Amino acid sequence: MATVIHPTAIVEPGARLGADCEIQAYAVVTKHCVLGDRVVVHPFAVVGGDPQYLKFDRATPAGVTVGAGTVIREHVTINRSIHAGAATVIGERCFLMATSHVAHDCVVGNDVVLANAALLAGHVSVGDHTFLGGGAAVHQFCRIGEGVMVAGLAAITRDVPHFTMVAERDAVIGFNVVGLKRRGFSRAAIAELKRAFEAVYFTPGNIRAVAAAVLAAGDCQTPEARRFLEFFAGGKRSFARARRAREGGDDDAG
C-alpha cells in the first residue's frame, strides 16, 4: 500500500510522510509535521497546528513528530512546540480517539491510548503503554508514568508514577496488576512492585524521601521495581496519593 492522501485533505508543502500513510478527507497535516510509516489521520483532525500560547510567534520553526503505526481519529488536535527546533512528540502505535487533544511540547510514549476527549496540557509526558480514559484532563508539566491506567473524567494535577491506576482528582486507587500481566511481567517483578508500591504509599512521611530510602535499601532487585522507585526522584510537581493514605490523614504530597 502506498501513501494515500484523500480528496479535500490538506497536506502542506514541507510536511514529511512515511510509507503507507493515509490522510483522510478534510484532515489537515501542516508543514511542521513528520509522520512515520503507516500513520492514519482521520477526517477533521489537525496535526501540527499552532500552539495555544498567547506569546507564540508563528514564525518559530517548531513541529510535531508522530511515530509509526499511530492512528489519529476524528477532530484530534496535536499542537506544535513553542520552542525553536523542538517538537511535540507522539510515539509509535498510539491510538488517539476522537476529539482528544495533545498540547505543545508534550511527549507521548509508545502504545499509548487517549480515549475520546482526553486532554493533555502543555509539557505533559506520558509513558509507554498508558491508557487515558474518556474526558480525562492532565495539567501542564505533569508526568504520567509507564503502564498507568487513568480513569475516565479524571483530573490529574500531580505526577502519577509507573504501573498505577488513578481516578477522580489525583487519587491513586491501586496498582495496575492486570496491565502488567497482559504485558507478560514476571511474577517476581509484580511481587516486588507490589511491595515497593505499599512501602512508598503507606509509609508515613515525605513520599519522595520514602521512595529514595526504599531504593537505597536495595531490597528491590528487578528493574521494574527500581524504575517505579526512581520515578519519585524526578519532576518538579508533587505526586498523586493513594486514597487510603488520604483517608488516614497523610496530606504530605511532596
The segment(s) of the chain belonging to CATH 2.160.10.10 are 4-157
What does the alpha-carbon distance between residue 36 and residue 75 come to, in Å, rounded to a whole number? 20
Instruction: Let me know: does 41 contact 58? Beta carbons within 8 Å.
Output: no
pLDDT band at 249 (very low <50, low <70, confident <90, very high): very low
**What is the per-residue pLDDT for 113?**
98
**What is the per-residue pLDDT for 5?**
98
CA-nearest of 96, 52, 90 to 74 is: 96
Select the CATH number that applies to the domain covering 4-157 from these four: 3.20.20.80, 2.160.10.10, 2.40.160.20, 3.40.50.1110.
Answer: 2.160.10.10
pLDDT band at 254 (very low <50, low <70, confident <90, very high): low
What is the rounded average pLDDT of the residues 195-208? 94
**What is the per-residue pLDDT for 154?**
98
What does the alpha-carbon distance between residue 213 and residue 6 come to, in Å, rounded to a whole number? 56
190 grid coordinates = 509484580
Instruction: Let me know: does 171 contact 149? Beta carbons within 8 Å.
Output: no
User: pLDDT tens digits for 131-167?
Assistant: 999 999 999 999 999 999 999 999 999 999 999 999 9
What does the alpha-carbon distance between residue 115 and residue 108 come to, in Å, rounded to a whole number? 14
Instruction: Let me know: does 64 contact 46? Beta carbons within 8 Å.
Output: no
**What is the per-residue pLDDT for 243?**
77
The residues annotated with a catalytic role in the active site are: 104-105, 122
Q: Is the Cα torsion angle 144, 147, 148, 153 positive or negative in sign?
A: positive
User: pLDDT tens digits for 92-140?
Assistant: 999 999 999 999 999 999 999 999 999 999 999 999 999 999 999 999 9
Average pLDDT, the chain: 95
